[in-house]
Amino acid sequence: MINASVLVVDDNPETLHLLARAINIDGLQVRTASSVFRALEALHDGSERPALIITDLVMPQTTGWDFLKHLRSDATLQGLPIVVVTGAEPGEGDVLADVVLRKPIDPDEVAAIVRGLLARSQSH
pLDDT band at 23 (very low <50, low <70, confident <90, very high): very high
For 31-90, the pLDDT digits (tens) are 999 999 999 999 988 888 899 999 998 888 777 788 888 899 999 888 899 999 988 776
How many structural domains comprise the chain? 1
Question: For residue 96, what are the domain limits?
Answer: 4-122
For 90-122, the pLDDT digits (tens) are 665 567 889 999 889 899 999 999 999 998 877
pTM of the model: 0.91
Residue 25 or residue 51, greater confidence: 51
The contacts of residue 101 (CB under 8 Å, 6+ apart) are 83, 84, 85, 86, 109, 110, 113
- Residue 89: predicted pLDDT: 74
Contact of 16 with 105, CB cutoff 8 Å: no
Question: Angle, to 10 degrees, between the axis of helix 64-73 and the axis of helix 36-43?
Answer: 20
CATH number at residue 98: 3.40.50.2300
First to last CA, the chain: 17
- Residue 114: predicted pLDDT: 94
